[in-house]
Amino acid sequence: MIHTILKSDIRIFQIIVMSLLLGTGVFVYDFTLNYQQVALTFIAGILSQIFWIHHLGLNKSSLLSAVITCLGLALLLRANSLWVHPLVSVIAISSKFWFQVSKKHFFNPSAFGIVLALLFFPNTWLSPGQWGSTTSSGIWLAAIGCLIASRAKRIDISWLYLFFYLGGLFIRNLYLGYEIEIFWHSASSGSLLLFAFFMISDPKTSPDHIFGKIILALIIATLSLFMQYYLYITNGHIYALIGTSFFVPLLNKWIQAESFKWRNNEDFRVSNNHLNVHS
């Protein structure tokens, strides 16, 4: 029964994993989380999704995507006030319906909300070092992230991004004559692996065709390196992802392939009858 439920919609599995990550962060890595902020994030986010479900007549299974967005915000975004998290949650959820091309949103909602908060809201920040840079944390984050991305059939763009980003970082280290330990320290960063396996791999906001993924991964990796090591902008990954989101509809139009669709219980049953039903 549990296996059937997990198989029917990858988002259920992703919610379980992200919830475990959040719990591990709180109890093992001692995240400085405000529980009121977490509660307000979920209340505002889920109510926003319910509003859009009734307003647009959406499938109720879209609530799963809203929960994932709220978990992403709770894992990464920090603020000194109580109003930032619920406001960002509402904007992040609503961005999926405000910014669309061909009825498909192109901003990763969690990343969009985080960038908006960092640019316009006072006393907000990310905690890129909260997962540490140890090899052990890097391995298990990569392992579970790899599992989710592979089940969502977007593991390729995660590895492509890491290939281009770490390749560029390795060449930079060689050019500057740094010790190899500096490279490994950056390569095992928890925030880098979280981004690669939980954010850029979002199947709804990444290109459909493999060539589109290669192009986008190369652009994001190059921009990330430029912002982080030449402009000294921290969290360059997320800025690069949002800044290049406009390319995704263009790439999907230029290099066409079958679009990704979430598969929920109803869709799963129908698809077994060889019918194509949109989620």
pLDDT tens-digit profile of 202-230? 888 889 899 999 999 999 999 999 999 99
DSSP H/E element including 125:
strand 124-126
Is residue 136 scored above 60 in pLDDT? no
Neighbouring-strand partners of residue 105: 100
Instruction: Report the 10 Å Cβ neighbour count for 267.
Output: 20
* 258 neighbors 223 (Cβ within 8 angstroms): no
Give 13-25 pLDDT, tens digit per residue: 778 878 887 887 7
Element (H, E) at 105: strand 104-105
Q: Which residues of 182-202 are buried (b: 16+ CB within 10 A; e: fewer)?
A: ebeebbbbbbbbbbbbbbbbb
- 219 CB neighbour count, 10 Å cutoff: 16
Provide the pLDDT for residue 275: 31
- pTM of the predicted structure, to 2 decimals: 0.82
Element (H, E) at 82: none
237-274 confidence digits (pLDDT tens): 999 999 999 999 999 988 887 777 665 544 433 333 33
The set of residues, in sequence order, having a beta carbon less than 8 Å from that of 121 and lying 6+ positions away, is: 79, 84, 87, 88
48 half-sphere exposure, CB direction, 13 A CA radius: 25
